[in-house]
Structure 1
Amino acid sequence: MKKETQVISPRQFAFILIGFLIGSASLFIPESIAGRDAWIATLAAGFLGFLPLIFIIQLNKKFKGLTIIQYSQLCLGKFLGKILGFLFLVNIFFVSTLIVEDLVLLFNISIIPGTPEIILRLGLVFLVIYALFSGIESIARLTELYILPLIFLLLILPLLTIQEVDFSLLRPVLADGLKPIIAGTVVALTFPFAEVAMLAMILPTVREKKNSAKIFYLAYLISMILLVIRTILGISIFSADLAKKMLLPTYQMFRLVNIGEFFNRVEAFFIFIWVLGFFTKLLATYYGIILGLSQIFQLNNKNSLIIPLGILIIFLSHFMMPSSGYFLYFDTIILPFITIPLNFFYPFILYIISLFKKF
């Protein structure tokens, strides 16, 4: 099996990991279905999401230079490994389609309202196609541009919105029992925490370095803390009932900021950072799909898949998501049944097999 060339540093991968988790998820609070206890759901899902990260890091150590598509065939046999690997790529494809819809929603609400959605989809996918011909390094370089500003903005958000916060909206804790929290945990695990398993397609390109795993775990922990802060602020500013109904609650939080001339339009800068976050996540998932398909079908040139896949994403995103209401329904009700088995249990099974099978 052909091994991937190690071209990005552990620090760059850590930035990709943070961007993958918070670049898009910081904009939404899907676990708000848990009500005032949504922050508990975020926390629980965050801890559970550590598991697939541990699995793919350990598998990457054992199968150096190989993607999850390749070592799946070693663990499960060529036929079953390819079948499950293909389903894993279908899972990534769904996420790519949803990212396109996230971006279309963001553009239509906050940047260029009224623009035909098909025009936005065409423009976004064209930019991704252009960037991907530059290789995985383009994702790493782009992520380095915006991660630190994004982290800074999310960290100062509590200070900027302190006058709007009412922590009494978080009480009473556990008043509605565990059922809403479990539902919220499942949604938050689906998006974004378990999605970290998709980075198994990029992890083999990371140059080996001592303590790399600790850097990745720290990056994940930072992401989890920032998303818990996002959830707490969303509920304590808007209330649980209102947060459930809002499409872009974090964007609305930044619109509340008005501190002098410099900060009175701070959401404009945050939108720019968000767009970069969405874009790099779309690049990462897109790259993972074309790489995985080229390995399953043994293609010599994975770049030959870039344009056909882009056309498919445009077509399916246009017809799969006819409205924002259906988009939210698909994201919270349907998607967990697709992504949790493939992002959580699939790496777990491969990890267990790798412990007992000799290679």
Structure 2
Amino acid sequence: MNNVKINSYQFLILVTFFSMGTSILIIPSVLAEGAKQSAWIVAIVGTIIGLFIIWLFCLIAQWFPNLTFVQITEKILGKWLGKAISLLFVIMSNIYAAQLIFYSGIFLNIHFMPNTPMMALNILFAIVIVIGVRFDLETIARSAEIFILFFLVLFILLVLFILPEIKLENIQPIFEVGPKAIFQTTLPLIEVTSVNAIVILMIFPAFINNFKQAKKSFYIGYCISGFVIIVLTFLCISVLGAYSTAAEFHPSYELAKRINIGNFIQRIEALMAGLWIMALYFKATIYFYVSVFGLAQIFNMNEYKPLTIPLGIVVVVLSLVMYPSVVYLQHWNATIGIYFSYSIGLLLPLLLIIINTVRKTHLKKESL
């Protein structure tokens, strides 16, 4: 299973898609609810803080350049404790893959296919994800190389078309909310863009053919996604206003509806839908790949593909059962989800770094 290799550019694109994911459509609403017209400032602060978390991941990867995160956890914590923690890591990846399938289903159900059952939409999206994972990481990375071009073109068109609708008075007064509110509002953004990127350590650096370049790609891909989120958040606030942005579940999609160039170019919100579905697919595929591959490593299997269909069924069931409504999903994300993510994506890496540093120091003293 360890013969797969992708280049640093492909890795950069995967990081970009993963960090954007659901953020480009949903995060502006979350930020506006907590920080009002200062939401775009929160996006900037959250992106900067996230760089520190990416640095932690790169530090761990630098110490164990040939191991995946599951193998690193077992090496530092021991076989049985390491496997138990790794199982929680795999469960987190599986749950978030299911959540992204729910997001895609509810979005298509609300805006495009109101008469189509959610189950059918979730199953179809899950089938595409399973097929992608069965074709292996190299195929996923190569397809991401193609789709990133479409993504960038659609994003640039969206920004250019919406510029005439900007009203700078919507972002005033600046810094109306205090530093405490700004910091608290950054937590959901940091969670979905950088903390949950812990799953990328199942790919980086074990499956990258050049560690130094891949390390730069990690930072660059994250910064590109941060820039996209900052721009979209600023556009949502400046065009829709803080209160309308906070009230919408998909504010970026509503933003695209406002495009009207000479009463000719209008109602092209499918651009925004295309952007989001692309980012969502690759993020969900990475989550699912990590859950399948991680489980195979935990049980010392030689091949992960036999697990794709059973876990694909589990993911579909979770997407239908675990999140009965959007309101419940938002409550889950604000309570259980955020604690789960920070425990696995921040506290666990810090623990691994501390234990490994203490162990190295102890070994050095013994050698002296």
Q: TM-score range by the shorter chain?
A: over 0.9
| Distance of 1:120 and 1:82 partners within structure 2 | 34
Over 3 Å counting, the alpha-carbon distance change for 1:206 and 1:177 in structure 2 is same
Paired residues of 2:73 and 2:82 also in contact (CA < 8 A): yes
Correspondence list, 1:283-294, <5 A: 283-294=285-296
Paired residues of 1:143 and 1:277 also in contact (CA < 8 A): no
Alignment-derived partner of residue 81 in structure 1: 82
Alignment-derived partner of residue 163 in structure 2: 162
Residue 304 in structure 1 maps to residue 306 in structure 2: yes
Deviation, 1:220, is 1.2
Percent of paired sites with the same residue: 26
Question: Which amino acid is the alignment partner of residue 12 of structure 1?
Answer: Q
Question: Which amino acid is the alignment partner of residue 33 of structure 2?
Answer: I
Deviation, 1:286, is 0.4
Deviation, 1:180, is 2.7
Correspondence list, 1:45-56, <5 A: 45-56=46-57
Question: Which amino acid is the alignment partner of residue 350 of structure 1?
Answer: L
Alignment-derived partner of residue 235 in structure 1: 237
Question: Which amino acid is the alignment partner of residue 158 of structure 2?
Answer: L
Alignment-derived partner of residue 21 in structure 1: 19
Q: Could you report, residue by residue, the CA deviation over 1:266-315 in whole angstroms, capped at 9, with x for unpaired residues?
A: 32244234222211111111000011111112122211211111111111
- Between 214-223 and 288-297, report the one with greater CA deviation: 214-223
Over 3 Å counting, the alpha-carbon distance change for 1:296 and 1:306 in structure 2 is same
Alignment-derived partner of residue 126 in structure 1: 127
Count of residue pairs brought into register by the alignment: 357
Alignment-derived partner of residue 5 in structure 2: 7
Paired residues of 2:170 and 2:238 also in contact (CA < 8 A): yes
Question: Which amino acid is the alignment partner of residue 187 of structure 2?
Answer: V
User: Counterpart of 1:322 in 2: which secondary structure?
Assistant: coil
Gaps of 5+ in 2: 364-368
Residue 31 in structure 1 maps to residue 21 in structure 2: no
- Between 21-30 and 70-79, report the one with greater CA deviation: 21-30
Correspondence list, 1:216-231, <5 A: 216-231=218-233
Question: Which amino acid is the alignment partner of residue 316 of structure 2?
Answer: I
- Between 191-200 and 267-276, report the one with greater CA deviation: 267-276
Alignment-derived partner of residue 63 in structure 1: 64
Paired residues of 1:73 and 1:79 also in contact (CA < 8 A): yes
| Distance of 1:13 and 1:101 partners within structure 2 | 26
| Distance of 1:85 and 1:201 partners within structure 2 | 11
Paired residues of 1:69 and 1:292 also in contact (CA < 8 A): yes
Deviation, 1:348, is 2.4
Q: Give the TM-score, by structure 1 length.
A: 0.92
Alignment-derived partner of residue 330 in structure 1: 332
| Distance of 2:333 and 2:301 partners within structure 1 | 32
Paired residues of 1:10 and 1:215 also in contact (CA < 8 A): yes
Over 3 Å counting, the alpha-carbon distance change for 1:126 and 1:109 in structure 2 is same
Deviation, 1:20, is 0.6
Over 3 Å counting, the alpha-carbon distance change for 1:248 and 1:176 in structure 2 is same
Deviation, 1:338, is 0.9
| Distance of 1:163 and 1:261 partners within structure 2 | 13
Paired residues of 1:10 and 1:206 also in contact (CA < 8 A): yes
Paired residues of 1:15 and 1:147 also in contact (CA < 8 A): yes
- Between 100-109 and 177-186, report the one with greater CA deviation: 177-186
Alignment-derived partner of residue 261 in structure 2: 259
Paired residues of 1:25 and 1:192 also in contact (CA < 8 A): yes
Q: Could you report, residue by residue, the CA deviation over 1:205-261 in whole angstroms, capped at 9, with x for unpaired residues?
A: 111154332232122111111111111111111122211111111111112223369
User: Counterpart of 1:26 in 2: which secondary structure?
Assistant: helix
Q: Give the TM-score, by structure 2 length.
A: 0.90
Over 3 Å counting, the alpha-carbon distance change for 1:144 and 1:265 in structure 2 is farther
Paired residues of 1:52 and 1:196 also in contact (CA < 8 A): no
| Distance of 1:291 and 1:353 partners within structure 2 | 25
Paired residues of 2:47 and 2:226 also in contact (CA < 8 A): yes
Alignment-derived partner of residue 138 in structure 2: 137
Alignment-derived partner of residue 189 in structure 1: 190
Deviation, 1:353, is 3.2
Paired residues of 1:165 and 1:237 also in contact (CA < 8 A): yes
Alignment-derived partner of residue 274 in structure 1: 276
Question: Which amino acid is the alignment partner of residue 294 of structure 2?
Answer: G
| Distance of 2:297 and 2:73 partners within structure 1 | 11
Paired residues of 2:256 and 2:271 also in contact (CA < 8 A): no
Question: Which amino acid is the alignment partner of residue 327 of structure 2?
Answer: G
Alignment-derived partner of residue 249 in structure 1: 251
Alignment-derived partner of residue 40 in structure 1: 41
